[in-house]
Amino acid sequence: MGALRIAVIVIFILVCIALTALVLLQEGKSAGLGAISGAAESYWGKNKGRSMEGKLVKITKYLAIAFMVLAVVLNISRFS
C-alpha cells in the first residue's frame, strides 16, 4: 500500500505543477476588451474552442478535476 500511495502523491505533485503552469499561460478575461465593440463575433471569437486558448482551457478543466479527485483519494487513504 505504501508504494501505491507514493505513486499517487507523485502524480498529484505533477498535476499541481502542470495546473499552475497552465493557469499562468492563459490570458486574463479582461484581455478580450474587443467584446465591447462587437469584435467577439469575429472568426476567432466563434472558433475559440479550436484555438490554443481553447485547448488550454479544456486541459485546465481536466487537470482541475484530476487535482480534486487525487486530493480526495489521498485524504481518504490517510484516514484508512
Average pLDDT rounded to a whole number, residues 48-72: 89
Average pLDDT, the chain: 81
Separation between Cα atoms, residue 68 and residue 60, nearest integer Å: 12
Distance CA 53, CA 49 (A): 7
Task: Provide the number of structural domains found in the chain.
Answer: 1
pLDDT given at position 77: 72
> What is residue 49's predicted lDDT score, i.e. its pLDDT?
61
- Report, as an integer, the average pLDDT of 10-37: 81
Report the pLDDT value the prediction gives residue 69, as an integer from 0 to 100.
96
59 assigned to some structural domain: yes
Quick check: is 30 in a domain?
A: no
53 lies in some domain: yes
Phi (first) and psi of residue 7, to 5 degrees? -65, -40
7 domain residue, yes or no: yes
The values of phi and psi at residue 27, to 5°, are -80, 155
70 in Cβ contact with 11 (< 8 Å): yes
Q: Is residue 31 part of a domain?
A: no
Q: Is the pLDDT of residue 14 over 70?
A: yes
Residue 13 lies in a domain: yes
More confident residue, 45 or 71: 71
Residue 32 inside a domain? The answer is: no
Domain range for 60: 2-24+38-79
pTM over 0.75: no
